Structure 1
């Protein structure tokens, strides 16, 4: 872990992190013709996205990809893609480009190759934001998942399907090497339970605490 930043409250954390991520994307765009922004699903980053979507940035040169996706249609309330379109890809950020992690009418395993082909030109990730569950999972790297060890391997492919007892539906996830190659890496967590989980993860191997596989060089942001 590069740095642990503690905030007095979650609202301040979300505002500060939104500013920091926007600044890092701007810096990436100054040195390149495009930037890749990799983000989590779920509700935690929603306030960050609300702020970022209103920021002045050359969004048409930003490519956004999820850390992972549930293998469900976009009209499902469980779709991370649908949530991302509602929370981040609006207002000024509506000009950003979405890199898809789902294909209609296909099993996750059958879509890996074509989805990876769409992702590869946009690597390495310029700015990465990760979340973490109380079970110490990040992206869809879940403890006990069927493909966890393969996804943690240094030679893992860019994307892998993932099934785990705590995951609900099948998932697709970016693998540990792709996440670790990010040029700027951040983890956002809230609450005492997740802080305690993070502290446990620092002492556990990645197969038990997958978040530990991607903490090297990461700044962790925490608020109660």
Structure 2
């Protein structure tokens, strides 16, 4: 991994937005459409706010989440709803959202259809992703019910995932899809996550799932 440390979080958010815009611009020079995969949660919100105002040909950008909680978009835990409020606005409203969620009762019920819709948009051109203090990334959690399958080199594109401490089922991109991204950027903040990601570099993906994407990744950190 390549370490990028910033003096404060505001500088991190602005610099990372510029870096992602440059990566998307470079990818758009090489092909007609590009895929931009992003995390849920509140941490990337300020990055998305800045990026949404950047003038890019957003109508040629396909956006997908790296994982989603299996809840309706009306829920305050919906990453899809959060993404619409933070990134898919302003100039970036022209981007196309590739869903990771449906109205099905369980993620298994629509797995095939969601996978079929995502497959033409791979590999990911630009990946922004986070990491939890437990060293999970996307919904690849230590101790999750299908973690071994999600980490396997021949894993499917998507997997439903259930894990201790996760209050609802998840749908997640798997390790081969995430590690196959052409440009990978990991956003972390705070001493706890700084220590965790450095531990992860010496652990197996089973122990620290984020380890599956560290090779060649750009880590963006502020205290």
Q: Which interval holds the TM-score relative to the shorter structure?
A: over 0.9
Q: Would you say the 8 A contact 1:142–1:167 is kept in 2?
A: no
Q: List aligned pairs for 1:83-122, cutoff 5 A.
A: 83-122=82-121
| Stretch of structure 1 that moved more, 121-130 or 98-107 | 98-107
Please list every run of 5 or more consecutive structure 2 residues that lacks an aligned counterpart in the other structure: none
Give deviations 1:83-125, integer Å, cap 9, x for gaps: 0000000010000000000110331012111001110111100
1:199 maps to 2:198: yes
TM-score by length of 1: 0.98
Which residue in the other structure is 2:123 paired with? 124
State the secondary structure of the residue aligned to 1:60: helix
Q: Distance in 1 between matches of 2:16 and 2:169?
A: 30
| Stretch of structure 1 that moved more, 66-75 or 101-110 | 101-110
Q: Would you say the 8 A contact 1:188–1:221 is kept in 2?
A: yes
State the secondary structure of the residue aligned to 1:165: coil
Which residue in the other structure is 1:28 paired with? 27
Cα deviation, residue 204, structure 1? 1.4
Cα deviation, residue 166, structure 1? 2.0
TM-score by length of 2: 0.99
Q: Would you say the 8 A contact 2:14–2:47 is kept in 1?
A: yes
Root mean square deviation of aligned Cα: 0.7
Q: Distance in 1 between matches of 2:4 and 2:178?
A: 20
Give deviations 1:60-90, integer Å, cap 9, x for gaps: 0000000000000000000000000000000
Q: List aligned pairs for 1:53-68, cutoff 5 A.
A: 53-68=52-67
4+ runs deviating over 6 angstroms: none
